[in-house]
Amino acid sequence: MSKLTALIAEAQAGLSIQERIPEEKWAAIAAQCGAVEVAEIMERIARFKAELETIEDWDGDTRDDIHAAIYRFSQLLRRTAG
């Protein structure tokens, strides 16, 4: 398990499946990211974008989920740079 995956899992601990990770926990994750984690975030965003290209237009829920993941990881990437 990568450090980034472990940090996200730690942030999700105790949350129900319907709950989102709070913004302060995303900020804490960003603060612990180094060059390896930044590279992984960029790779994940690229994979999400590639996956989005394979999803049919009629599958709006899946497309929405992927867009949300792209947004979340893009925000995380911005926080690591700031």
- Classify burial at 29, counting beta carbons within 10 Å of its beta carbon; exposed 0-12, middle 13-18, buried 19 or more: buried
Distance, CA of 1 to chain centre: 15
Other Cβ atoms closer than 10 A to 19: 9
Interval 8-19: pLDDT, tens: 999 999 999 889
pTM for the predicted model, two decimal places: 0.90
* Rounded CA separation 8/26 (Å): 8
Interval 45-67: pLDDT, tens: 999 999 999 999 999 999 999 99
